[in-house]
Amino acid sequence: MTFRRDSAAEGIRRAAIDAKSLASINALIPGCVACAELAAERTRTVAGDFPAKAQLMLVGEAPGAQEDAVGRPFVGKGGQLLDRLLADAGVTRASVAVANVVKCRPPGNRPPKRAEANRCAGWLDRQIDFVDPEVVVTLGMTALTWALGLGHRLGEVRGSAVDWRGRRLVATYHPSAALRFGPSGAPMTLLRNDLSYAASLVTAA
């Protein structure tokens, strides 16, 4: 099977590679119109939060309505849950880098299309180069597919760290799944455990 080359994805990767700093990457993202539907519907792009010297980085799927409104990742109910679980693991949100695979909110909060994730990955890959975290945590399947490619199931990957681009990668559930299944559901328990495990890897590194 042959795949048609995506010139927009290639253009983003070239622009990202040419960027000399994290600030310059984040300054380019608001002008991105590679995905016409997302660019037309968004209020703001959401580049991410990148505190200095962050050794733990969380990668989610895409902004939701509240993130689109304020321009920051994980500020809604899912973000509030994430903050609590990080605190339980002994980590402050202010010390953690947080980004999404896709920088614009998909209409109706639908999952990002594969082409959208592929295009936006150029920005995220370069952001990680500059942040240089010791541990990356993927939240949900979109982020897992970005990191490891198609064909991986979350249930088969989570529970241990894998070597990835010279760092450790921990896959877990998205906070929205934990909220959907409730406080007694398996995703909530596993998300809590996995964040604690990821935090312990940073401490031990």
pLDDT digits (tens, 9 = 90+) for 32-42: 999 999 999 99
73 pLDDT exceeds 50? Answer: yes
CA distances, 66 to each of 70, 76, 92, 142, 159 (Å): 6, 6, 21, 19, 30
Q: Is 162 domain-assigned?
A: yes
pLDDT tens for each residue of 161-181? 999 999 999 999 999 999 999
Q: Is 2 domain-assigned?
A: no
Element at 57 (helix H, strand E): strand 56-60
Nearest by Cα to 17 from 166, 123, 167:
123
Neighbouring residues of 125: CB distance < 8 A, sequence distance ≥ 6: 13, 16
Q: What is the mean pLDDT of residues 138-167?
A: 95
| Containing structural domain, residue 108 | 7-204
pLDDT tier at 1, thresholds 50, 70, 90? very low
Tally of domains in the chain = 1
CA distances, 123 to each of 17, 24, 39, 118 (Å): 9, 11, 15, 10
Domain CATH for 37 = 3.40.470.10
Q: Is 181 domain-assigned?
A: yes
Q: Is 1 domain-assigned?
A: no
pTM beyond 0.85, yes or no? yes
pLDDT tier at 6, thresholds 50, 70, 90? confident
Q: Is 112 domain-assigned?
A: yes
